[in-house]
A and B are shown apart, each in its own frame.
Chain A
Amino acid sequence: MSIDITEFYQTFFEEAEELLSDMEQQLLQIDPSDPDGEQLNAIFRAAHSIKGGAGTFGFTVLQETTHLFENLLDKARHRELTLDPTIIDIFLETKDMLSDQLNAYRQQTEPDSAAYERICNTLKALAEEKGHGSGAVSESSAQTSASGAAESSAMIIRIAGVAADNATSLAEEMALFGTVLEQQHANDVLTVRLETATGEEDIRAVLCFVVDDDQITFELVAAASADNGVETSVDEWPAEVEEWPAEEEMVQKAPEAEKVTPVEPVSVAAPAEPARAAAPAAKKAERAAASSENASLRVSIEKIDQIINLVGELVITQSMLEQGTSDFDPVIHGNLLSGMNQLQRNARDLQEAVMSIRMMPMDVVFNRFPRLVRDLAGKLGKQVEFETVGKSTELDKGLIERIVDPLTHLVRNSLDHGIETPDRRLAAGKPAAGKLTLSASHQGGNILIEISDDGAGLNRDRILSKARENGLAVSDAMSDDDVWQLIFAPGFSTAEHVTDLSGRGVGMDVVKRNIAQMGGHVEILSRTGQGTTTRIVLPLTLAILDGMSVRVGGEVYILPLGAIKESMQVRPEDISTVTGNDRVLHVRGEYLPLVELYRVFDIPDAKQDVTKGIVMIVQSEGRSFALQVDQLIGQHQVVVKNLETNYRRVPGISAATILGDGSVALILDIPALSRAPQDREGSHAGHHRSAAALH
């Protein structure tokens, strides 16, 4: 049998990962003193399915670990093992170990054997200590006990949609579970009467990697339920059924605890035909109901991005057509123009719908925090009530992936520095358990993520004294907001002790930079003694930007609309020079540095006189500055195109886009421009010089 097993690996890895993540959720929710049987079952099933797959693919270490784990879970669900928080901890640790092993296999390496032995020993010890009986029994009998009701029994397995040439090999696979008493292949349905000690779940787990779950039907014909079993089977069974050996004989023949060998998957003409096997068992119906809840399709990001790109093109073409037809006489071309309107609406709707494919609920991110908080709080000896709000808020997948690290950092900070130890909290008249809330919500075109704690809050005096130590320019008169911004300075930490969690001062500036790279910003609200809220504001998506197009000389640039505070025409008396070269603009009592776009980009035919042009007040990273342009053109939604795909990073430019007329316009990188004035001496020194100045 020659099958390329590797193509099934990916499926297994993905499924196993999901199962592990489910498992963790369940473990965290479980109440050790009164465990919910359904939850234990769910955990058990997850472990079991992973074991089945691991066995199939020959991932021995993973298989053995899940096996031991499963034994314990089995005991727990049969109330033979009494759960307590320590055991849950061990279970969680095991889950982590399984993830590590899975990753090792994914990278085609062997998992860490020391870690494997350690976890095995822990599990075995636990089994011996708490359970009655053996966790570390021999493979074969353990397999049997693991599969639940492990009586050897006969069953009829029907697999639909199996081509003739696959049927034989599939049947051979079945033989590995036990003794094939009878097999038959007709109308693409393979029917196997199997005598086995392996449970239905086990067989299903192994087969599910080669055939779809709904292609398989099981029918138990165990000796105990012989009457019932035979009756139903006879109804649906072809005539040959009469010739089969009597049930009693079969049971006698049943080998004692048949050893289950890992099975290679069989290549089956997959879901080509609808399953013909009818009469789904009640259990299957249940399963179907469960699976319909997450009726989803796994599609590669590349494909989606391709669609997004194409739709972006469509929108551009549409606006090109619209421009081209705008001066047509509506009387003569009425149909065409109404068609154009329709096209515009459809194109926008399509774009919106396509963009939403990339959106993922914040759930994905938030789900990893209960565990983190639980572990950290335990380590720090703190009590924390963790709450998440707005799990269903959606965010672009690209951003979801990149928000995890900054959020993790902020949550750690809150736990480590924010929330106090229980005795300190009690002394301060607060409940012993601190409260940590992670929330997400929409606000206009942005998403707002907040991490708030009711801890000690930031300490103004300490931040100020630390800032002086670090040689930052500070004064006691600074507003609280300005003081809080200081903690984003590189190398800044006010932690009394550097712990392994935080306090090294490498964090907040990185957090801030990461978020700025995503087009967002961070704000801190804090009250000493009452807690801190860190607020992250992110754009909904990276692929589309609300922009303002401006003209400078003969060139058009796009400014992100979110950065623009206002635009104005200035009078000569509002402008003053600093050291002869740099200019500042006086706006309502504030002096803002003036960045002349024509100078930064060396644009020849631009209006040099600031009073003739327009000044945009823009804000980035908490700083405002004035940007001089010639003219405002208008507001658009633009599709962001990466400039680095075929070119390189351009100082002062974040990306490019294609305008309605098909030409390319560059999108300004406001944070980089805000840093431009300080080091602009000799801005005409050309490419390399300004590259250094801007980045």
Chain B
Amino acid sequence: MEASAIDKVQLEGEGHEFLVFRLGAEEYGIDILSVQEIRGYEGVTRIANAPSFIKGVTNLRGVIVPIVDLRLKFALGNADYTAQTVVIVLNIGHRVVGVVVDGVSDVLALTGEQIKPAPEFGSTLSTHYLMGLGSLDDRMLILVDIEKLMSSEEMALIDKAA
């Protein structure tokens, strides 16, 4: 079902391709190259004493993969889990991580001009993890450096020593 949502692939122009997903009413974009696959949310085993946005681990064809709910992390949208809940499986620096989002909408190519620098703002999502804001017609995409975000200490996905 997710595949049909991404049928509108736009490839014109140079620049990056982004996978666009929704968290609440906001649209986010991440580098398509860090996306391994998109699947439904199922069979997650809770991990005790982990932060609430870490839903647990799941079995992805024999690989144990942690699942992070970005809706909880950024306090956006309703964190309910239905058959429609989408997990984007990311492959970041030899690690595989799944993130739960409200929905995947597009794969978009953005040129350099379409990416504007992100202004300084609050602390929920530090500008540190932003690549910029993408503007496409009247839509605004929040472009996240997902690799940096997922490796950050606040995501608590990686041992500090590692």
Contacts and interface: CB of A to CB of B under 8 A. Distances in A.
Interface of A: 309, 312-313, 316, 555, 600-603, 641-653, 656, 658, 662-666, 686-687, 690-691
Given A643-B57, A647-B57, A656-B57, A686 B64 contact: no
A691 B62 contact: no
Contacts of B57: 643, 647, 656, 664
A228 B32 CA distance: 75
A650 B49 CA distance: 8
Contact of A666 (B43, B45, B61): B45
B64 A646 contact: yes
A316 B62 contact: yes
21 contacts: A313-B61, A313-B62, A600-B48, A603-B48, A641-B63, A643-B64, A644-B159, A646-B63, A646-B65, A646-B66, A647-B57, A647-B66, A648-B159, A650-B47, A651-B49, A653-B47, A653-B48, A656-B45, A664-B45, A664-B57, A666-B47
A690 B49 contact: yes
A664 B56 CA distance: 10
A641 to B, nearest CB: 5
Contacts of B95: 645-646
A663 to B, nearest CB: 5
Nearest to A686: B49
B158 interface: yes
Nearest to A598: B48
A664 B64 contact: yes
A635 B50 CA distance: 28
A664 B43 CA distance: 8
A647 B157 contact: yes
Contacts of A650: 47-50
Contact of A663 (B45, B47, B96, B159): B45
A641 B63 CA distance: 8
Contacts of A603: 48
A184 B58 CA distance: 65
A686 B56 CA distance: 15
Contacts, number: 80
A109 B57 CA distance: 44
A312 B62 contact: yes
A228 B19 CA distance: 79
Contact of B64 (A313, A641, A649): A641
A476 to B, nearest CB: 42
Query: A-B pairs with the 8 shortest C-beta distances?
Result: A601-B48, A664-B45, A647-B66, A648-B159, A313-B62, A687-B49, A656-B64, A663-B43
A555 B64 CA distance: 17
Given A642-B64, A647-B64, 12 more contacts: A316-B62, A641-B63, A645-B63, A646-B64, A647-B157, A647-B158, A648-B158, A650-B50, A653-B48, A663-B43, A687-B49, A687-B51
A648 B156 contact: yes
Contacts of B61: 313
B113 to A, nearest CB: 37
Contacts of B49: 601-602, 650-652, 686-687, 690-691
B64 A648 contact: no
A656 B65 CA distance: 11
Contacts of A555: 45-46
B97 interface: yes
A664 B97 contact: no
A550 to B, nearest CB: 14
A595 to B, nearest CB: 13
A641 B156 CA distance: 20
Given A664-B58, A691-B49, A645 B64 contact: yes
A641 B58 CA distance: 12
A313 B65 CA distance: 15
B51 to A, nearest CB: 6
A653 B45 CA distance: 13
B162 interface: yes
Contacts of A666: 45, 47
B59 A662 contact: yes
Nearest to B161: A649
Contacts of A600: 48
Nearest to A652: B48
B89 to A, nearest CB: 10
